[in-house]
Structure 1
Amino acid sequence: MAMAPVSHEFEVHRREPELLRPAEPTPHEFKYLSDIDDQEGFRFHLRGTLFFRNNPSMVGKDPVKNIREAIAKTLVFYYPFAGRLRDGPNRKLIMECNGEGIVFIEADAEATIEDFGDPIKPPFPCMEELLYDVPGSTDVLNCPVILIQVTRLKCGGFIFALRYNHTVCDGPGIVQFMCAVGEIARGADTPSVLPVWERHLLSASDPPRVTHQHLEYQEIASKFDNTCESEDLVDRSFYFGPKQVSTLKNLLPPGRHSAFEILTACLWRCRTIALQLHPKEEVRFMCVVNARAKFNPPILPQGYYGNGFVLPVVATTAGELCKNPVGYSLDLVKKAKAKLSEDYVRSVASYLVLNGRPHFNAERTFIMSDIKNAGFSYVDFGWGEGLYGGTSEAGSDLLPGCSYITSFTTSDGEKGTVVSLSLPAPVMERFVKELDLLLTSGDAASKFVKSSL
């Protein structure tokens, strides 16, 4: 079901941004990023938001003070985060660990946790106020790597919002850092998982050796007009509980299908129909596949907080995707996931080095990123589990085709997932109709199967 955004606004009072440095002296050194990290497509900042309710056991304790002090102590372990990125030869990114610090902002909002809806879900009202864009802080080079704003609410709850440089870490990496801040805020001396840099583990072979085709970095030839994709975008969130997932599964061939595969196959098809592309237009699905713990032995150690994923792609035509049953898109989604191998990861690194670290191609591409297991629910600054933790919006200006799957609990306690999408307004309207039609037909299929038993 679609979720409408909360529309009202409120006033936020913030203090002057400050540079928050490590609590103790840290090494001044230079560290190379990996050849996965510094590709063009990761050279931007991502935002995340966590909401925490009032906790009576924490009366008299200030979340801003506790978190600020914990961040400073945690930066002693994660000292590269307090540094600045420099541009090296052949566009190789290098972290100068100089202890300059991250940006920290203290704020108060004339709002309560209830003002964000029940339940809380993206997109959020006044996000620009909840995470102030400090002038001069958004460049990739020579800028703070992380910006954090902690906003107190009138009800005693608070919002933790952050923006981080994607070249330095990915979602699981920044969650690892936030969990470490939480542990230290709760009294630990050291994080339970110590950070591991070791970016050389995802560097290209010497000499670079490309062993796979990498459609994710190759252009899509087009002879058709697709102006609708460039229109102003709107964000929507869609909830899928056990009933909705089961309904969609009834549209698929028998077999073992994960919730990710089911939702991705259905949403990709609905999205493509809504875009109304020429039938011969090439469309792609890009799967964000995390390489952590995927292999035995693992190629990345516990504590690695750099970018640990690759972006395998499958392609078809809009006509084939739209005219075939959902099982067709399901097979393609599974093929994209199946491309992941250790050799594939090495091949990606080599391809990037040999081709000038290009941007992946997101044109007419549906990108799905599953962050359910990134660990946002484990972040606890002393106030307990958050009401919501995840992305602040669907995609971004640089990734309009990217959607995120996030864990979600409804107000009546049902556990499911939320998928956020960003589409032009008229396309979004058509998408909602296609999704409703699919859910209705799936429910009808379910009833038919049950009546036939």
Structure 2
Amino acid sequence: METLSPNPAIQDLKLTFHQSTLVFPSQQTHQHKTLFLSNIDQSLHFNLQLLYFFSPNPDFPPETLAARLKLAIQKVLVPYDFMAGRLNWNHHTARLDLLCNAAGAGFVAASSAFSLDEIGDLACPNPAFRQLAVQTLNNLEDQPLSVFQVTSFTCGGFAIGVSLNHVLLDGLAGRMFLENLASQAFQDKPLAAIPCHDRHLLAARTPPLVSFPHPEFLKPQFPVLGRPVSGSKQELEFKVFKISSSDVNFLKAMAAKQAAADNNATPVKITTFNVIAALIWRCRALSLCDVEGNKDRVFSISYAVDMRSRLNPPLPPEYCGNAILPAYASAKCRDMEKWPLWKLVEMISEGIARMSDEYVKSAIDWLEINKGIPYGDCILTSWLRLGLNEVVFPWGKALHCCLVVNNLERLCWMIPHVDGVNILIQRPAQEMDRFTFHLRNSFLA
């Protein structure tokens, strides 16, 4: 296991901004259309920033690249008109609406005084990378929901940053959008996939019917819908933990051996996701327990599960919106400390198996009644199957694709690596030290 920390010498990428403007659909769109947002969409009102780093391409110098990308965005905003829209709080329905009013998406072109080599390992969770995917445009009151940025480096390499409000898309829909954006950057290439925009497919039932408890959601004491999710006010550390393929196999073999010795074990497939999720859950719980000194504390994990194939009938694979819900598991810290890893893998697997058609509909109805938000002491998102790094642009595939770190401290990510899995964690310093200790000890068993 290897730990990556940001390069402390690079805190400012020394950017010069050449363009900062709104871009609009290249053709007329339905500017008076309002897009219905499901209860799942409503609960994910926060920004995420994605970065693609590319090697130099002599056919695409900075000016050519910026012009080609800008044109591609204008073209893709026709089938994705809502990406150029704005959120509006509807006081009559007490819901967010997405106005497809062609108010524009953001486009930024910049250059850095550094080369790619100088900013170090691109997998490092460097907070300075936020400069490569700005979330807002200067001197603009009506801010866009999506901003695209191209930044060139002195070596000829470049980065494309994408900042999106999560209300717009989940991971799979985001992958489809990026493939479509890439297709429009080619000359005369059709869309990679036709998006399905009918978000009523995930509307609540009338009347709502909640048939399960839903501890994966929190009903706030005060209304929060319509407000962006706020980040932590604490100072956080950011680290990436590289779990190699041999490390993953070690954990799988350990869990399988423990299951074989447990006569009460239920048959569960030990996947990379299940075993890494169980590891993160235990290490996060024990690190917080070390800081708080309370082993009776119940610690929960929630983890995003795609609903597309779990509904009856299934959603179209091209569903364009948020079709994810959190599965969950919880236990006391003292129990998690003594239980074998297998027990936690089993509980993670049970959380996924719980997500039936009726459970999903019950969760959507719970959100309709309670206007809640996803909850967990640790909220885990996996990019293992998204394939974001597989998107092919005219200038080639990316050297590296990564998430830009933010201050949403409960969130952590599982990201594919060429040899295993990267875990991105953001925690206060004392807790990060304990997390690192427990993670390293997990491989000494």
TM-score (norm: length of structure 1): 0.86
Matches within 5 A, 1:357-396: 357-362=371-376, 365-393=377-405, 396=406
SS in 2 for 1:250: helix
* Structure 1 residue 418 corresponds to structure 2 residue 422: yes
Q: Which residue of 1 aligns with 2:150?
A: 150
For residue 382 of structure 1, report the CA deviation from its aligned partner: 1.2
Check whether the contact 2:208–2:366 (CA below 8 A) recurs between aligned residues.
yes
Residue number among 98, 101, 104 corresponding to 1:98 in the alignment:
101
Q: Which residue of 2 aligns with 1:38?
A: 42
* Structure 1 residue 166 corresponds to structure 2 residue 166: yes
Paired AA for residue 434 in structure 2:
R
Runs of 4 or more above 6 Å deviation: 136-139
Q: Which residue of 1 aligns with 2:3?
A: 2
Check whether the contact 2:5–2:124 (CA below 8 A) recurs between aligned residues.
no
Paired AA for residue 194 in structure 2:
L
1:406-446 deviation digits (Å, cap 9, x = unpaired): 1122xxxxx322110111111111211211111122xxxxx
Check whether the contact 1:208–1:350 (CA below 8 A) recurs between aligned residues.
yes
Change in 2 beyond 3 A, CA 1:404/1:311: same
Distance 1:401 1:204 in 2: 27
Check whether the contact 1:8–1:125 (CA below 8 A) recurs between aligned residues.
no
Q: Which residue of 2 aligns with 1:333?
A: 348
* Structure 1 residue 405 corresponds to structure 2 residue 414: yes
Check whether the contact 2:47–2:163 (CA below 8 A) recurs between aligned residues.
yes
Distance 1:43 1:267 in 2: 25
SS in 1 for 2:409: coil
Distance 1:338 1:94 in 2: 32
For residue 371 of structure 1, report the CA deviation from its aligned partner: 1.0
Distance 1:381 1:164 in 2: 19
Paired AA for residue 432 in structure 2:
M
For residue 18 of structure 1, report the CA deviation from its aligned partner: 0.4
Residue number among 227, 245, 256 corresponding to 2:269 in the alignment:
256
For residue 133 of structure 1, report the CA deviation from its aligned partner: 4.2
Q: Which residue of 2 aligns with 1:225?
A: none
Q: Which residue of 2 aligns with 1:71?
A: 73
Residue number among 285, 289, 302 corresponding to 1:286 in the alignment:
302
Residue number among 413, 419, 443 corresponding to 1:439 in the alignment:
443
Q: Which residue of 2 aligns with 1:26?
A: 29
Q: Which residue of 2 aligns with 1:202?
A: 202
Check whether the contact 2:248–2:420 (CA below 8 A) recurs between aligned residues.
no
Q: Which residue of 2 aligns with 1:117?
A: 120
* Structure 1 residue 186 corresponds to structure 2 residue 200: no
For residue 163 of structure 1, report the CA deviation from its aligned partner: 1.2
1:1-37 deviation digits (Å, cap 9, x = unpaired): 2112223323110124201101111112112111221
Paired AA for residue 402 in structure 2:
G
Distance 1:159 1:348 in 2: 39
1:282-308 deviation digits (Å, cap 9, x = unpaired): 11110210112345752x213212001
SS in 2 for 1:417: strand
Check whether the contact 1:84–1:95 (CA below 8 A) recurs between aligned residues.
yes
Check whether the contact 2:312–2:357 (CA below 8 A) recurs between aligned residues.
no
Distance 1:78 1:193 in 2: 12
Q: Which residue of 1 aligns with 2:262?
A: none
1:156-198 deviation digits (Å, cap 9, x = unpaired): 2211112111112112222221211111112244312011110
SS in 1 for 2:440: helix
Q: Which residue of 1 aligns with 2:226?
A: none
Paired AA for residue 284 in structure 2:
R
For residue 117 of structure 1, report the CA deviation from its aligned partner: 2.5
Change in 2 beyond 3 A, CA 1:188/1:213: farther
Check whether the contact 1:36–1:348 (CA below 8 A) recurs between aligned residues.
no
Q: Which residue of 2 aligns with 1:447?
A: none
Change in 2 beyond 3 A, CA 1:417/1:188: farther
- Larger displacement relative to structure 2 (272-281 or 121-130): 121-130
For residue 131 of structure 1, report the CA deviation from its aligned partner: 2.5
Distance 1:27 1:420 in 2: 40
Distance 1:432 1:121 in 2: 18
Paired AA for residue 372 in structure 2:
P
Check whether the contact 2:382–2:415 (CA below 8 A) recurs between aligned residues.
yes
- Larger displacement relative to structure 2 (372-381 or 234-243): 372-381
Change in 2 beyond 3 A, CA 1:130/1:60: closer
Check whether the contact 1:34–1:200 (CA below 8 A) recurs between aligned residues.
yes
When the two chains are superposed, the root-mean-square deviation of aligned CA atoms in Å is 2.4
Paired AA for residue 407 in structure 1:
P
1:207-226 deviation digits (Å, cap 9, x = unpaired): 11111110012479xxxxxx
Distance 1:20 1:57 in 2: 24
Check whether the contact 2:134–2:163 (CA below 8 A) recurs between aligned residues.
no
Distance 1:137 1:241 in 2: 45
Check whether the contact 2:137–2:143 (CA below 8 A) recurs between aligned residues.
no
For residue 58 of structure 1, report the CA deviation from its aligned partner: 4.2
Q: Which residue of 1 aligns with 2:278?
A: 265
Count of aligned pairs: 417
Give the fraction of aligned pairs with identical amino acids, expressed as a percent: 25
Q: Which residue of 2 aligns with 1:48?
A: 50
Change in 2 beyond 3 A, CA 1:77/1:190: farther
Residue number among 296, 312, 319 corresponding to 1:304 in the alignment:
319
Distance 1:62 1:373 in 2: 32
Q: Which residue of 1 aligns with 2:84?
A: 82
For residue 121 of structure 1, report the CA deviation from its aligned partner: 0.7
Check whether the contact 2:123–2:402 (CA below 8 A) recurs between aligned residues.
no
